[in-house]
Amino acid sequence: MPTTVHHAEFERLAADTLARWAAVPVTIASDIAGIPIAIDPRIRPLRAFPLGKRMVGQAVTAWCERSDFGAMLHALDIARAGEIVMVDAQGCLQTAYCGEILCGYARRKKIAGLVVNGAVRDIDTIASWDDFPLFALGNTAKGPLGKERGSVNGPIAFGGVAVSPGDVVLGDNDGIVVIPLERSAELLALGEERVRMEAEWVAALEDGGTLVGTFSVPEAV
């Protein structure tokens, strides 16, 4: 069956909204969501982010059959600048789904990042780029075996989390969270409030406060 490309329509968030999300740590987003939004922690960045820097953008999704990277090719072609391509390769580590050529193409298009639940290759070159985040489950030298099956821009289950086109993807050195688009405004407000609250906790502790008092822990007996 040939690759299926869905023409997903979703609200495209303003650049300043995405910039606000970039100021929310992944840990805080995970804590305030109230639903599972943190993907498999084994999916890690090839290159560590500088302190305070994060990957953020709206999702373009691809589902690949094992060892077939056709859906990824279509997804990278249709992804716009600032979007993040989420590739569910079902955890396959036997073949790589992208390398220097595909990632270089995505980088030139100003795609905001690529996340692969599977293997990648050419990791020395890709990790040397400080302007293109790549997260992956692992790496292997062996290339893909096909390029004609899969689906693009449909809902997927990615690393234990449901992902739909347009969802907000936020990544840093602690991992990745995927925020459902329909809840993104609500959760952004909660995340920003939590950021302010944590700054107040730090200030109180630096001012000589105790952990029990700062976190309103019930008295011990």
Residue 163 CA to chain centroid, in angstroms?
10
pLDDT of residue 175: 97
Residues 73, 102: Cα–Cα separation, whole Å: 8
Contact 137, 49 (CB under 8 A): no
**Domains, the chain, with CATH or none:** 4-180 (3.50.30.40)
* Per-residue pLDDT tens listing for the chain (221 residues): 688 888 888 999 999 999 999 999 999 999 999 999 999 999 999 999 999 899 999 999 999 988 889 999 999 999 999 999 999 999 999 999 999 999 999 999 999 999 999 999 999 999 999 999 999 999 999 998 888 889 999 999 999 999 999 999 999 999 999 999 999 999 999 999 999 999 999 999 999 999 999 998 898 88
* CB atoms closer than 10 angstroms to residue 27: 15
Predicted TM-score (pTM) of this structure:
0.94
What secondary structure letter does DSSP report for 208?
A: T
Residue with the two structure tokens 């994060």: 54
Please name every residue paired with 157 in a beta bridge, in sequence order, or none if there are none. 162
Q: How far is CA 66 from CA 12, 84, 85, 178, in A?
A: 31, 21, 18, 23
What secondary structure letter does DSSP report for 209?
A: -
According to DSSP, the β-strands at 156-158 and 44-45 are unpaired
